[in-house]
Amino acid sequence: QDWDLQAEHVESAIYSVTHGYAGTLDLIATLCDGCRWLLDLKTSKGVYGDMALQQAAYRFAEFLAVDDDEHIPMPQVDAVGIVHVRADGADLVPLTAGKGEFRAFLYVAQVAATAARLNELVHAPITPEKIEVNA
């Protein structure tokens, strides 16, 4: 009530065909400041920097699923934040989640994908009789 929140999209699937990722954002809403916010609700002990990378991925996704049959271009937002929900209340914590953070998200995703396959880069020992070169 205090924020005069006008919800536009709640628990909506987003995705990027270009970059091959998908997720579910919590909320896009207009608040009392007249700005359209991309908001994520968190009940963690705090608000952390990696949350900005997640929100940047949502912000710069290409599409949002309105329902199973309707997909629209991802709506532009003016601001990004976390609603930090605690036992004694909630805070709206603004985030920096711009193009730089989106590039960082893509980099972190690539590093994670590479790390997941590092063991595949090491092959079984060979002997002179069975030498095969694996490039």
CA distances from 106 to 6, 53, 115 (A): 31, 9, 14
The pLDDT score that the predictor gives to residue 67 is 87
| Contacts of 62 by beta carbon, 8 Å cutoff, 6+ apart | 15, 16, 17, 18, 73, 74
- Judge whether residue 129 has pLDDT over 90: no
- Judge whether residue 132 has pLDDT over 70: no
Q: Percent of the chain having pLDDT more than 70?
A: 97
pLDDT digits (tens, 9 = 90+) for 4-54: 999 999 999 999 999 999 999 999 999 999 999 999 999 999 999 999 999
- Helix (H) / strand (E) element for 53: namely helix 50-59
The pLDDT score that the predictor gives to residue 1 is 78
CA distance 69 to 55: 25
- Judge whether residue 59 has pLDDT over 80: yes
Q: Two tokens at 61?
A: 């996704």
pLDDT digits (tens, 9 = 90+) for 101-127: 999 999 999 999 999 999 999 988 888
Place 133 in a pLDDT band, splitting at 50, 70 and 90. low
